[in-house]
Amino acid sequence: MANNNEKVVLADPAVIAGLDNYRNLPAAQQPTWLDQAALAAVQAELSKQPPLVFAGEVDILRDRLAQAAQGKAFLLQGGDCAETFADATADRIRNRVKTILQMAVVLTYGASMPVIKMGRMAGQMAKPRSSNDETRDGVTLPAYRGDAVNGYDFTAESRAHDPKRLLQAYHTSASTLNLIRAFTMGGFADLRSVHEWNKGFTDNPANARYETLAKEIDRAIRFMDACGADFNALRAVDFYVSHEALLFDYERPLTRIDSRTGTPYDTSGHLVWIGERTRQLDGAHVDFMSRIRNPIGVKLGPTTQPDDVLHLIDKLDPNREPGRLTFISRMGAGKIREELPKLVEAAKNSGAEPLWITDPMHGNGITTKNGYKSRRFDDVMDEVRGFFEVHKALGTVPGGIHVELTGDDVAECLGGSEQIDEATLEERYESLCDPRLNHSQSLELAFLVAEQLAKN
Ligand code: TRP
Ligand code: MN
């Protein structure tokens, strides 16, 4: 018989899920906050804030990613290397959304395939760094780790890790996501505005090619309109947001138990990914990600071994759940044909069906003679071609693309139809982090991907 004095201990779903297990494991790339009391206050505050995304949306995304893994949809994931507080303005967010919508149109039309639209947006504010410090003219300060951690200005004050920035990251993400939702649901993304999205961008061959395609779509829509077609599906798009889940002090307070299912969701974004530098099998990041229900991405660089892939599958997707796991390969144009096949084959032979997408940006970094971090557009295009070749040869599915882009007229990557050269970088280089494709380079890339998909 139960003793009446015995306390009834209600099972805590967060404990059952092991959400805090990561605290016992080595966590790479975490900030060193100086003020622990301030950190505790920020965490308490964050854990009271409303979720940014709804668990039901996350479930729908997982189903759609499962479609992509089977070749019935295509994932387009794009946005800044690092979002900044200062650049979370209406104009910049709108230009980025427009660029992604235009790319989606090119892909949907060119490949006759549903495109899953996803921003590297509304949370992409923390960066892993290869070195803790940066030295300029004999002065050494902590490296910039993204606006969620410290400031870019090279002063001791700005580079100090400040937990209050986590709260600002949350609020900036909330307002960014609010505007994205307004644009994509409120009429701005209506396919009948396909021409509008190209306005305000400078003339160049990619834009002209887009105009031609927009005219065809317009004609088709007017034809269907005359036939009395129902246009509900044209009015709005589902737009998902994603970021690298790097900081436990941000992701953990935003991870909530969903009342419908009693399981944990990281409500800071729909999909979250772990990078090359934080995907250690026995590390904190893999453990934490293994316990949330969101679709998970993992970046794979050129030194990845088939065993790494198999172990990641076992840890992150033990039930082989469709749509759960996305591998984002970032090999470099010179290596993808060599290094990717064995990884894809290993996964295939294990009976798993992860979604494979290509990140043609991060394996192709160079430093120009005048000192800019850049990428050659030709290398980016070549890695994309290599990605399609590899999957074609293996009979597997090239399911998506992950790119760093901006809707603005910057000059950060070399080449493209505007033939951006090293001197031009000096005029229009804005990124605080990695070089991004500008508007016309993004469109050009979309045309290439559409051609590859149509051939498939
Ligand atoms: N809703 C459809 C989709 O998301 C069609 C559509 C509406 C669309 N607006 C769009 C497609 C903008 C691409 C871009 O696919
Ligand atoms: Mn980057």
Nearest to 119 by CA among 83, 91, 78, 90: 78
Which ligand has an atom closest to residue 128 CA?
2
What is the total count of domains within the chain?
A: 1
What are the pocket residues of ligand 1 if the criterion is a CB atom closer than 6 Å to any ligand atom?
A: 101, 104-105, 108, 114, 189, 191, 233-234, 237
Which ligand has an atom closest to residue 196 CA?
1
Cα of 123 from ligand 2 centre, angstroms: 14
User: What pLDDT, on the 0 to 100 scale, is given for residue 354?
Assistant: 98
Q: Which atom of ligand 1 is nearest to the CA of 235?
A: 7
Mean pLDDT per segment of 10 residues, for the chain of length 456 residues?
57 90 98 96 98 98 98 97 97 95 95 96 97 96 98 98 98 98 95 87 87 92 90 93 98 96 97 98 98 98 98 97 98 98 96 96 95 96 98 97 94 94 95 94 96 89
HEC sequence for 164-196:
HHHHHHHHHHHHHHHHHHHHHHCCCCCHHHCCH
Q: Which atom of ligand 1 is nearest to the CA of 191?
A: 9
Q: Is residue 344 part of a domain?
A: yes
Nearest to 326 by CA among 402, 404, 434: 402
User: What pLDDT, on the 0 to 100 scale, is given for residue 2?
Assistant: 46
pTM: 0.96
Cα of 80 from ligand 1 centre, angstroms: 22
User: What pLDDT, on the 0 to 100 scale, is given for residue 1?
Assistant: 42
Cα of 278 from ligand 2 centre, angstroms: 14
Cα of 363 from ligand 2 centre, angstroms: 10
Confirm if 216 and 271 have CB atoms less than 8 A apart.
Answer: no
Confirm if 267 and 310 have CB atoms less than 8 A apart.
Answer: no
Cα of 233 from ligand 1 centre, angstroms: 7
- Cα dihedral angle (255, 256, 260, 261), rounded to 10 degrees? 60
Cα of 234 from ligand 1 centre, angstroms: 6
Q: Is residue 434 part of a domain?
A: yes
Q: Is 331 helix (H, G, I), strand (E, B) or coil?
A: coil
Please give the single-letter amino acid code of residue 169.
Answer: A
Confirm if 266 and 254 have CB atoms less than 8 A apart.
Answer: yes
Residue 343: both structure tokens together: 């990884």
Q: Is residue 189 part of a domain?
A: yes
Cα of 188 from ligand 1 centre, angstroms: 11
Cα of 405 from ligand 2 centre, angstroms: 10
Enumerate residues 6+ apart whose C-beta is below 8 A from 178: none
Mutate to test the pocket of ligand 1, among 210, 234, 240, 443 (most ligand atoms within 8 A of CB): 234
Q: Is residue 1 part of a domain?
A: no
Nearest CA to ligand 1 atom 4: 237
Which ligand has an atom closest to residue 359 CA?
2
Q: Which atom of ligand 1 is nearest to the CA of 101?
A: 14
Q: Which atom of ligand 1 is nearest to the CA of 194?
A: 12
Segments forming the whole domain that contains residue 145: 13-455
CATH code of residue 214: 3.20.20.70
Q: Is 373 helix (H, G, I), strand (E, B) or coil?
A: strand
Q: Is 293 left (phi over 0), alpha (psi -120 to 50) or beta?
A: alpha
Which ligand has an atom closest to residue 111 CA?
1
Nearest CA to ligand 1 atom 10: 191
Nearest to 115 by CA among 74, 60, 153: 74
Nearest CA to ligand 1 atom 3: 237
